């Protein structure tokens, strides 16, 4: 049996993005994230999987251990709210500092979503990608999932970049709760 999944960007979508988040003590979940993830998992039985570029590793700003500790802190905060992320995938490479082959995992490449779908038996045709950047939307489009762009401070720049490429998300959400409400309606056939 195949699962449906909601793939999530991390920084700026799940937690506040202070720029290369490497200290677990800096992790603050965005409003509605814990409640939204809990609802997606308990009511709709989605797998919830993080898909994240972490080029700070390639830059030498942070380590793999820093990323693991931040991911663990996110799950600790979510577990306190009665839910959790099922798995975390991240790409530590950047074309400036890594080989083209290594950098192939970077969003907007669908490589991490494809890997997660193989590992967790995900039906991509019933799955979604939520993110705050154009590359998140492009990653989802490239993987064949429905896409949701969450409005953040950089929204105009991100949506213009997508439009310039002739691409657009399936939905633009005011916040994480709005994104989850869209998935609930869409998945239930209400849209």
- Would you please indicate which residues are annotated as catalytic (active-site) residues? 9, 11
DSSP string, the chain: -PBPEEEE-SBTTTB---SS---GGG--BPTTHHHHHHHHHHTT--EEEEEEE-THHHHTSS-HHHHHHHHHHHHHHHHHTT---SEEEEE---TTTS-TTGGGGSTTSSHHHHHHHHHHTB-GGG-EEEESSHHHHHHHHHHT-EEEEEP-TTHHHHHHHHHHTT---SEEESSHHHHHHHHHHHHTT--
Place of tokens 């916040």: 175
CA distance 29 to 15: 4
């Amino acid at each position: 049996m195949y699962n449906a999944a909601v793939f999530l960007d991390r920084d700026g979508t799940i937690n506040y993005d202070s720029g290369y988040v490497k200290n677990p003590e800096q992790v603050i979940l965005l409003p509605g994230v814990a409640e939204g993830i809990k609802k997606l998992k308990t009511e709709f039985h989605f797998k919830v999987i993080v898909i994240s570029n972490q080029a700070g590793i390639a830059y030498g700003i942070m380590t793999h251990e820093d990323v693991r500790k931040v991911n663990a802190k996110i799950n600790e905060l979510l577990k306190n709210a009665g839910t959790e992320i099922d798995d975390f995938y991240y790409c530590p490479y950047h074309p400036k500092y890594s080989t083209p082959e290594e950098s192939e995992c970077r969003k907007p490449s669908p490589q991490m979503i494809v890997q997660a779908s193989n590992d967790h038996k995900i039906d991509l045709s019933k799955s979604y990608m939520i993110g705050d950047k154009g590359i998140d939307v492009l990653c989802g489009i490239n993987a064949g999932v429905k896409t949701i762009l969450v409005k953040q401070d950089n929204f105009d720049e991100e949506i213009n970049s997508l439009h310039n490429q002739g691409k657009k998300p399936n939905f633009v959400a005011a916040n994480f709760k709005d994104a989850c409400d869209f998935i609930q309606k869409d998945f239930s056939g209400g849209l």
